[in-house]
Amino acid sequence: MAGAIEVKFYSLLRRRLGKASLALEADGLTVLELLLLAEKRAGQSFLDELLDRERGLLTGTMILVNGENVRLKQGLETRVGAGDTVDLFSPAGGG
Amino acid sequence: MNGWMGRIVMVDLGGHSQKEIPVDGETRRRFLGGRGLGTKLYSDLCPVPIDPFAAANALLFMTGPLTGTVMTSGRYEVVSRSPLTGTICDSSSGGSFGAALKGAGLDGLVVTGRAERPVYLYVHDGIVEVRDASAIWGLDTQKTQKAVQELTSAKASVACIGPAGENRVLFAAIMNDKDRAAGRGGMGAIMGAKNLKAIAALGGQATAIADADGYKAMAARLDRAVDKNPVTGKSLQVLGTSVLVNVINAHGMFPTRNFRGGVFNDAEGTSGEKIAESLLQRQSACYKCPIGCGRTTRTKSRNGEGPEYETVWAFGAHLGISDLTAITEANYACNELGLDTITMGSTIGCAMELHESGALKETMLWGDAARLAGWVEDTAYGRGFGAELALGSKRLAAKYGRPELAMQVKGMEIPAYDPRGAQGMALSYATSSRGGCHMRGYMIMPEILGHPVFLDRFVTAGKPEIVALIQDISAVVDSAVLCRFLQFAMGISTLSEMLRTVTGLDFGDEELLAIGRRIYTLERLYNNRAGFTRSDDTLPPRFFNEEFQTGSSRHRVVRLDEMLDGYYAVRGWDTQGSPTKATLAALGL
């Protein structure tokens, strides 16, 4: 969708929300603002899978903006805009 | 004695004799058990590298001081020289066989010689019976386990080989407790060479605990930590290990078509999320494990265990196959026939690229899901082209004049993480003591999954130190013996506390790390004697020369030259990768 940020839900988030993605008509948000907006649009809470009570990233949470982990950018303050894809993974492991 | 049973039995199948191998307290303290003590004993028994299939070769089944105690402690380690790689090798498996072997009174069972006719071993009450297995030779692993239980005890835990091991397929697995596998390195083929079909172990004896109150408190803390951790307490339970399909694909390092791509367009269809909503019947768990990462699944026509992450990849993206049923049924076939799924899938992918390149006439096409299970079966029985697949990718690619198309290190196929996407993982593959394996030093934990801290995956600085540290810690966990997944919820101090309460010996964190370093160095010494040097600590040229054009690992190559010298320096090895005299002296080797 033109002018939208695509938010993709994986792992436990997808199971909780029952959907794989949301297209949010938005621009110029921080990742945290995007998460709050996505939670609102999804109509169901899910941030507890990604963030701690102080709204910091949980150990193991992976948030990728266009494939790049926000921990290598400005964390939850990383800015996202229309056309970006944001992948949300709750902590996961395997191997 | 606390922690250990104090008894290791060596059975000579050719000489019809048995003896006890004495191990003193100092040696136990320096090598613990499992992988560490197994490597020490193997190095003493077979100091000069010999043909893995020679009668004189030793095959060790090892438990550790924690075996049969806390959660996940049913594991065991098989140690010998790998017929696939020629390196020292230990192969680890879950289930409950380890707990049963120790409960039968043994810290370890060493098998040498070759029986004249097929035999199985029955271990109980501290003794080892050698019994005729002529009637069960030829059976698959599931039927073998049932048959051996009928011949011994319904309560026995059975480790065995299937047709692949009997036929000495170089990557034959040992299967136990239905579908748990000591998968990597071809340990099953060594059993086959010894005419050893199975080992049944009937437990019963408890491991003596030094500090019962401390142990209880520690175990309760571990329970809470594992339950509270989102990976061990939730993700692995609900989605299994295949949750990584989407994670690694999103990082652009999910190897596709023999590592020519890093993004698989059909990843979603083979993901853990997809398995959970389609084939999954229930979780399955090893001995005393509250995590239960195993998947009991059902296709339209069959049911069984798996697939787990590496297998989903090996029979999926690696081959350009997105048919989850075909992947799953190929996994069932490997379990039944006794094959390592990673090397099996990787070798098929190598053959596909060989065919595409024109080097191989045998028709092997990307995405050919319909023939997948047939290739697996042909490999186990050595039928037709299967006899060539049975050699593994290194020998296959060399035979057809394109050695660079085998995605292996030291002859072992690299698993489901493209090293161009994680520099530390690349170094770990290159320096792994058993070849292209992710389990020697799982750098995916910090570089992708962010445990225990997050590291930049494309940076090389600092990686030699961390790779060596993670390799050392992993060697300790493999020697304790516990499941690696506990590392999501515990640090080395917890391990040290476990060992203290169980054995009564106060292993500090530093001593444990020194034990890990000692084990890793001992493995290196063996590999040096087997002819491995710096030139073998490398990766296939693809990873240095070819860049992905898409995905978030695009335009990256492995920069091993920025890390290898530093790694040797951290390890105290010389520039050719041999431990220096000072290092050996410091480690008491």
pTM given for the model: 0.98
Q: Is the pLDDT of residue A95 over 90?
A: no
Is the domain of B304 the same as that of B367? yes
Question: Rounded CA gap, B94 and B75, in Å?
Answer: 4
- Mean pLDDT for B558-575 is 98
- Mean pLDDT for B213-228 is 97
- Asked whether the beta carbons of residue A71 and residue B454 sit closer than 8 angstroms, the reply is yes
Nearest to B230 among A15, A90, A94 (CB): A90
- Categorize the per-residue pLDDT at A2 as very low, low, confident or very high, splitting at 50, 70 and 90: low
Question: CATH number, domain at B53?
Answer: 3.60.9.10
Chain A contact set for B444 (CB, 8 A): 95
Question: Rounded CA gap, B170 and B386, in Å?
Answer: 12
CB atoms within 10 A of CB B535: 8
Please tell me the predicted confidence (pLDDT) of residue B50: 98
Interval B438-466: pLDDT, tens: 999 999 999 999 999 999 999 999 999 99
Residue of chain B with shortest Cα separation from A49: B230
Please tell me the predicted confidence (pLDDT) of residue A3: 83
Is the domain of B394 the same as that of B432? no
Split into its structural domains, chain B has a count of 3
User: Under a CB-based contact definition with an 8 Å cutoff, are residues B531 and B44 in contact?
Assistant: no
> Within the 215-244 window of chain B, which residues sit less than 8 Å (CB to CB) from chain A?
230-232, 234-236, 238-244
Interval B378-429: pLDDT, tens: 999 999 999 999 999 999 999 999 999 999 999 999 999 999 999 999 999 9
- Mean pLDDT for B87-92 is 98
Q: CB burial class (10 A; 0-12, 13-18, 19+) of residue B191?
A: buried
Is the domain of B385 the same as that of B483? no
**Dihedral of alpha carbons B545, B257, B423, B89, sign:** negative
Ordered by where they begin, the domains of chain A are 4-89 (3.10.20.30)
**Nearest alpha carbon to residue B420 among B283, B567, B556, B240:** B556
Interval A13-47: pLDDT, tens: 999 999 999 999 999 999 999 999 999 999 999 99
Please tell me the predicted confidence (pLDDT) of residue B553: 98
- Categorize the per-residue pLDDT at B494 as very low, low, confident or very high, splitting at 50, 70 and 90: very high
Q: Is the pLDDT of residue A1 over 90?
A: no
Is the domain of B41 the same as that of B182? yes
User: Under a CB-based contact definition with an 8 Å cutoff, are residues B354 and B402 in contact?
Assistant: yes
Q: Does B246 touch chain A (CB under 8 A)?
A: yes
**Is B435 inside any structural domain?**
yes
pLDDT above 70: percentage of residues in chain B: 100
- Which residue, B150, B184, B202, sits at the end of a domain? B202
Q: Does B280 touch chain A (CB under 8 A)?
A: no
**CA distance to partner chain B, nearest, from residue A44 (Å):** 19
**Is B302 inside any structural domain?**
yes
- Mean pLDDT for B324-351 is 98
**Is B65 inside any structural domain?**
yes
Q: Is the pLDDT of residue B258 over 90?
A: yes
Nearest to B236 among A15, A61, A93 (CB): A93
Is the domain of B161 the same as that of B20? yes
Backbone angles phi, psi at B553, to 5 degrees: -110, 20
Is the domain of B265 the same as that of B312? yes
Structure tokens at B403: 């050695």
Interval B518-537: pLDDT, tens: 999 999 999 999 999 999 99
Cross-sheet strand order for the sheet of B294-298: B280-284, B294-298, B303-305
- Mean pLDDT for B183-207 is 98
Q: CB burial class (10 A; 0-12, 13-18, 19+) of residue B43?
A: middle
Is the domain of B445 the same as that of B530? yes
Q: Does B96 touch chain A (CB under 8 A)?
A: no
**Is B184 inside any structural domain?**
yes
- Categorize the per-residue pLDDT at B32 as very low, low, confident or very high, splitting at 50, 70 and 90: very high
- Categorize the per-residue pLDDT at B348 as very low, low, confident or very high, splitting at 50, 70 and 90: very high
**CA distance to partner chain B, nearest, from residue A41 (Å):** 22
Chain A contact set for B451 (CB, 8 A): 59-60, 91, 93
**Dihedral of alpha carbons B327, B331, B332, B336, sign:** positive
Structure tokens at B312: 């989903």
A31's enclosing H/E stretch is helix A31-42
**What is the interface pTM, i.e. ipTM, of the complex?**
0.97
pLDDT above 90: percentage of residues in chain B: 100
- Does residue B257 come out as left (phi exceeding 0), alpha (psi in the -120 to 50 range) or beta? left
Question: CATH number, domain at B269?
Answer: 1.10.569.10
Is the domain of B310 the same as that of B187? no
Is the domain of B375 the same as that of B451? no
Is the domain of B369 the same as that of B427? no
Is the domain of B560 the same as that of B514? yes
Query: Domain span at residue B318?
Result: 239-401
Residue of chain A with shortest Cα separation from B241: A94
> Within the 515-574 window of chain B, which residues sit less than 8 Å (CB to CB) from chain A?
551-552
